[in-house]
Structure 1
Amino acid sequence: MHSNTGKSLLKYALTAKNTFILALVMLAIGVAAELAGPFIARSMIDDHMLAIEKPYYETAAAGESTVNYDGRTFKRGDRFTEGEARGPEVRILQVGTSFVFVEAEMGDVSGERSYRDGTLILTKSGQVTEYPARKLNAAEVFAFYRPEIPGILTLVGWYFVFLAISIVMEFGKTYWLQSSANKVIQKLRIDVYAHISRLPVNFFDNLPAGKVVSRVTNDTEAVKDLFIAVLSNFFSGVINMLGVYVALFLLDVRLGMICLFVVPIIWAWVVLYRKFATKYNTIIRSRLSEINAIINESIQGMSIIRIFRRQSQTKAEFEKLNDDYMTYQNKMLNLNAFTSHNLVNVIRNLAFALVLWYFGSAQITGSSVISLGVLYAFVDVLGRLFQPITGMVNQLAALDSSMVSAGRVFALMDEPGEAVTDGSMPRYKGNVEFKDVSFAYKKDNVLKNISFEAKQGQTVALVGHTGSGKSSIINLLFRFYDPQKGTITIDGQPVKDLPKQWIRQHMGIVLQDPYLFTGTIASNVSLGDERISRETIEKALKDVGADRILAHLPKGLDEPVVEKGSTLSAGERQLISFARALAFDPAILILDEATANIDTETEALIQSALEVLKRGRTTFIIAHRLSTIRSADLILVLHRGEIVERGTHDELLALGGRYYQMYRLQAGGDTPALGGLPGHITEPATGRI
């Protein structure tokens, strides 16, 4: 996995820091509002519902907080103002399900209570105390509760206020967090795509297209889950836990200290879990890429698969990958099933056991008396502690998967790309010179001491069998690669001193199998370049004779082109490719056996157009069909990376060497029957020309 994934993710998160901060502020407010509930409940229980057991005193001044009983007026002791006269103390105590009225100073009323024949009996630590008492009926009990109702209603009102705040904050937090995540992923995808377009061509030699697509789509989508689901749960979880611990310590410091044991357990669990999960997820993401690659390859080569009846083998390869993917998915499933829910349950039960042990021992020794309100609030808050823990633990799988995916994305972005240089250079003349150029893709040189010169307006043809180095010369010219030895100059200037984009701006190529993009015929000629007008497109198509060939299309220039131009014939695709080269008006033109896929009639139409196309430009032709290069100014015969013959068509025929043999072979001289495809030369010793 990428070593600095966390730092890279943080860098991207900071691009939307304002909305992330807003989401976190709303989250904190929401948590605080939600945690207000237990405190309101504690106040409701301790200050109102159980508070009628506090001492009451007789008073002469009646009011909202006073109680009328037996012709007298009473008020709770904590509601007297300073200096206000107090009468005799009375108490209202609960015995079982009943309440009794005791007119006496009682002090501590904890202990076991019982009522019999007008007497309240208190038993504490073996000591028995008796007080005269009178049982109250329901109406009389309610009379003592009536002053508490306004306070209870106020607390209920505050509860609903905090509930409304938490609902609004939850909505805001979710909205802003998700919109921030979408913004981050949008930027990440744009950057990944931009970086892919800057990667050197040789990077794609060993990485299937499906795997690259998987990085841009599946892996960035998993990173999106990280920002939306994982960060949401973890941020919520951490802030909730902080809020819960603040609440626990406010309720009772000792109980808060006891419950701190949860934090190191969660930390240790995350570290241990990720040790196994990262290994599984790395394989899962890799298999997913391979599945994408094989699907992409199968779709691209579906006709070949069917022609050679490879469906069962291809299916077997796919199933093997899919089975491996499922195996590791199941391993992750087992890891999650054995741990997440069970872990939270164990910690929850352990925490409640510790709390009960604490309360139990305190009650037995009599060393501590904790109110029922505190107990209720504590149990409520402690229960809330495990909601975020459950959310965090359940997101561990997504966290690890997202981190692995992010690592794969950032590893791709760490691949050295070609620098993008803004601006452009004036159109050069196109005088090309190779001086002692040697080049190897890996170890062995595919070009050895290549030297030649092509002047402006000249046509240079490259001939030779497969693997002789023809395409390598073109790759060096385009600077897809740079030679290990020697120099290549254009108009006397070394190409290494010029930005690659500037050089390519004035180069054009027509491939043997042209590539068309999804769009229209017009967009495939201009490639979306605003400098190429509609008139230029039409003229280019007309000059190469494509206007007559494409006349049957219903929408003309605006005829839709699907992927790779599969609805057009090979000849039609090639003509569009010719028009594209002409429209861009390059100084250097490369024709990679550009007429090989065109029928004889179509070829006749564009031969004259080719002469127009080549005029004033330096043209390189990779030739398989030797009859097409008779007029070339220079023919270079390549063999195993070296130029073995050079000269014009007539000079090379007169030489009687390798070129002469190849030409006789194609012309059907005294040679064995030719194999191979039409327009391609095959000879036993050298292979395809």
Structure 2
Amino acid sequence: MTSLKELKQLLNITKEFKRPLLRATLFGSLGHLTLVIFTYFLTLFFIAKITTVAAILFIIILALAILKGLFSYIEQLLNHYVAFKVLHVLRIKVMDKFKKISINSFTQNSSGDYMTMITTDIELLEVFYAHTITPFMIYIVQACVVSIFVMIFSVPLGILALVIYIIIGLIYPLTFKNKGQAVGDSYRRKLAEVNNHSSEEAYGIFETVQYDKIGETKKDLVSETEELTYSAYLKNKFLVDLNALNIVTYNFGVLAFIFAATKHINNPNIIITLSAMFIVSFIPILYMGNLASTLSQTMASGKRFLELMNTPEENVNDGVKVPFNTLTVKNLSYHYDDKTVFKDINFTVNKGEIIGISGPSGCGKSTIAKLIMKFIDNSKMGGNIIIDGVNVQDIDNAYFRKHSSIILQDSYLFNTSIKNNLTFFDKTINKNLIDKALKNTNLKNHVDSLRNKTDTTISERSANISSGQKQRLSVARSFYNESKLLILDEATANIDIFSEIEVLKALEKDKNDKITIIISHNKSTLSICDRVIKLGE
């Protein structure tokens, strides 16, 4: 559940917006108090017997009605100015964090979780900043001003009004905060699961039809949707139940106020005006009473946002810069949960060499690649990974990332131009390097035959190119970036033999200025290797 510390962190984001928030509070308070005063004078108008007094009251009432609209407009304008400014800040913070977060931490969540965070969670936080901070301050002003005004006529009556305000506006939200956040969290998790599964099934529709898995897929989606629907029902039921409790408390509070007024005030006109004023004073009070329900998802979103902000980042070190001439793996071992994945792995690979790593599934081939690339925590690792006499952990991280590449079994290409995919949106594009990279991967003729050449857009999920072309473009990307260390982890497992041959030719042609490691269980893939390290034997 969201703690006071986390709430403080969320509020700290609005530090630079203190002035518009205070102005919104001022105009919001004036707007609600104007309604209270309007009702007070309107009641006096109907019970006034003197024509002159009634005329004056009518003018005051008309002025208050106009001011109410003006104050409310300014309050909402300022609130939403802050909210959308904060949304801008939050989105920048999230994207900046994605750039800094360690890969090991980043892979702990699914793409569905991140998509929900970037879209739904950030949008929901707008509710917190636009409809929580100033309403809370307005609630305090309203409760204090109205209670003090009532105390002028009767202290016990003013205290009673304050107690009712506190019950609805503070006690109920604090009492039901955890339950509200629990149902909000549950709904968000179910929504993320449905989003993730639906996205996967949409992109995998061909395989679903091919293997006649439509029935099973539909059954799974229906089951997940039913769970989401039930979670939404619980969330809305909580909202309705809490709203009903607030309304019941409000009605009994009004009756108690009127009854107490008849006991402590003798003038019936004052009883009527104070009672009418008290009845209309509950708009900001009831809003606060319903916060536990309206903020159920919002605070859950805020908690996840803060969890992301507190996620460990990749170390920014000013380490050593090496020429990537020799990579040495010495007595390497890795374990987790008291299980040893591998131990005593030793090999050396020099620039210009291609070595292979083979072995059965689960023997740790990919783990070795991730350790070399500094993708996973090395606290469970034994031994050393050394490049040019320097431990890989001591090499400057930014420099290492710039000069190393890994191509996975399912590499990702962005839904943008071929040029942007090769250059990673680099503003200073080297056309000669692009041509060389495409030529070395035997893609130059194909790309030149396209109408827009390197400006041709790769469609979503690379639907308009073959799997072989996709992998060759991934290799070309590493060539363009002139990677000095290149690792292929089952990169040719899902492509046809002809495409695999093209990829292997490209690797062999461009091997002289880099260290190349190929991880595969296929002998054909490893045929170009100078030597092969066999694991699990």
TM-score, normalised with respect to structure 2: 0.88
In structure 1, distance between residues paired with 2:325 and 2:281? 74
* 1:28-39 pair list within 5 angstroms: 28-38=29-39
* 1:439-518 pair list within 5 angstroms: 439-481=334-376, 482=378, 484-518=381-415
1:613 aligns with 2:515: no
Q: Give the aligned partner of residue 324 of structure 2.
A: 429
Flag the 1:509–1:460 CA change in 2: closer, same or farther, 3 A: same
| Residue 539 of structure 1, CA deviation | 2.9
| Residue 459 of structure 1, CA deviation | 2.3
* Alpha carbons 1:233, 1:395 under 8 Å: kept: no
| Residue 580 of structure 1, CA deviation | 0.9
| Residue 546 of structure 1, CA deviation | 0.8
Flag the 1:532–1:386 CA change in 2: closer, same or farther, 3 A: same
Query: Out of 217, 227, 240, which is 1:337 matched to?
Result: 240
| Residue 522 of structure 1, CA deviation | 0.7
In structure 1, distance between residues paired with 2:508 and 2:366? 23
| Residue 618 of structure 1, CA deviation | 1.5
Q: Give the aligned partner of residue 91 of structure 2.
A: 189
In structure 2, distance between residues paired with 1:354 and 1:429? 81
In structure 2, distance between residues paired with 1:605 and 1:358? 91
1:626 aligns with 2:527: no
Q: Give the aligned partner of residue 485 of structure 2.
A: 588
| Residue 321 of structure 1, CA deviation | 2.6
Q: Give the aligned partner of residue 524 of structure 1.
A: 421
| Residue 397 of structure 1, CA deviation | 0.9
1:413 aligns with 2:309: yes
In structure 2, distance between residues paired with 1:603 and 1:304? 22
TM-superposition CA deviations, 1:226-284 (whole Å, max 9, x none): 22234454444333333322332345444323323303432332233335333333322
| Residue 559 of structure 1, CA deviation | 0.9
* Alpha carbons 1:210, 1:295 under 8 Å: kept: no
Could you list the runs of 5+ residues in structure 1 that have no partner in the other structure?
A: 53-144, 363-367, 641-689
In structure 1, distance between residues paired with 2:428 and 2:322? 15
Q: Give the aligned partner of residue 397 of structure 1.
A: 293
In structure 2, distance between residues paired with 1:533 and 1:229? 50
| Residue 584 of structure 1, CA deviation | 0.5
Could you list the runs of 5+ residues in structure 2 that have no partner in the other structure?
A: none
* 1:236-315 pair list within 5 angstroms: 236-266=138-168, 267-315=170-218
* Alpha carbons 1:434, 1:489 under 8 Å: kept: yes
Moved more, 535-544 or 490-499: 535-544
In structure 2, distance between residues paired with 1:344 and 1:210? 38
- Say what the alpha-carbon RMSD is for the aligned residues: 3.0
Give % identity: 24
* 1:352-367 pair list within 5 angstroms: 352-359=255-262, 361=263
In structure 2, distance between residues paired with 1:630 and 1:314? 40
TM-superposition CA deviations, 1:136-172 (whole Å, max 9, x none): xxxxxxxxx5xx3xx6555544443343333222111
In structure 2, distance between residues paired with 1:244 and 1:460? 80
* Alpha carbons 1:5, 1:403 under 8 Å: kept: no
| Residue 478 of structure 1, CA deviation | 0.4
Give the match's secondary structure for 2:282: helix
Amino acid in structure 2 at the alignment position of 1:370: N
* 1:657-668 pair list within 5 angstroms: none
* Alpha carbons 1:512, 1:595 under 8 Å: kept: yes
In structure 1, distance between residues paired with 2:229 and 2:535? 51
| Residue 295 of structure 1, CA deviation | 1.6
* Alpha carbons 1:348, 1:386 under 8 Å: kept: no
* 1:65-104 pair list within 5 angstroms: none
Query: Out of 433, 439, 464, which is 1:536 matched to?
Result: 433
Q: Give the aligned partner of residue 10 of structure 2.
A: 9
In structure 2, distance between residues paired with 1:626 and 1:353? 86
Give the match's secondary structure for 1:626: coil
In structure 1, distance between residues paired with 2:134 and 2:232? 24
| Residue 593 of structure 1, CA deviation | 5.0
* Alpha carbons 1:26, 1:173 under 8 Å: kept: yes
Structure with more helix by fraction: 2
1:22 aligns with 2:23: yes
* Alpha carbons 1:2, 1:408 under 8 Å: kept: no
| Residue 346 of structure 1, CA deviation | 4.1
In structure 2, distance between residues paired with 1:328 and 1:603? 47
* 1:371-382 pair list within 5 angstroms: 372=269, 374-382=270-278
1:225 aligns with 2:124: no
* Alpha carbons 1:511, 1:591 under 8 Å: kept: yes
| Residue 313 of structure 1, CA deviation | 2.0
Q: Alignment length, in residue pairs?
A: 533
1:384 aligns with 2:384: no
Give the match's secondary structure for 2:77: helix
* Alpha carbons 1:248, 1:255 under 8 Å: kept: yes
Q: Give the aligned partner of residue 546 of structure 1.
A: 443
* Alpha carbons 2:254, 2:279 under 8 Å: kept: no
* Alpha carbons 1:230, 1:398 under 8 Å: kept: no
Q: Which has the higher contact order (CA 8 A, sep 6+)?
A: 2
| Residue 212 of structure 1, CA deviation | 2.8
| Pair member with larger Rg | 1
* Alpha carbons 2:40, 2:274 under 8 Å: kept: no
TM-superposition CA deviations, 1:200-240 (whole Å, max 9, x none): 44445553321232233222322222222344544443333
* Alpha carbons 2:79, 2:131 under 8 Å: kept: no
Amino acid in structure 2 at the alignment position of 1:463: S
| Residue 335 of structure 1, CA deviation | 3.7
Amino acid in structure 2 at the alignment position of 1:308: Y
In structure 2, distance between residues paired with 1:354 and 1:578? 77
* Alpha carbons 1:463, 1:636 under 8 Å: kept: yes
Flag the 1:436–1:371 CA change in 2: closer, same or farther, 3 A: same
Amino acid in structure 2 at the alignment position of 1:13: T
* Alpha carbons 2:183, 2:296 under 8 Å: kept: no
Amino acid in structure 2 at the alignment position of 1:306: V
Moved more, 152-161 or 501-510: 152-161
Give the match's secondary structure for 1:212: helix
* Alpha carbons 1:589, 1:614 under 8 Å: kept: no
TM-superposition CA deviations, 1:370-420 (whole Å, max 9, x none): 262x33431221112222233333443112232223223323433323234
In structure 2, distance between residues paired with 1:493 and 1:248? 77
In structure 2, distance between residues paired with 1:631 and 1:313? 42
Amino acid in structure 1 at the alignment position of 2:114: V
Flag the 1:264–1:22 CA change in 2: closer, same or farther, 3 A: closer
Amino acid in structure 1 at the alignment position of 2:484: A
Give the match's secondary structure for 2:281: helix
Flag the 1:486–1:287 CA change in 2: closer, same or farther, 3 A: same
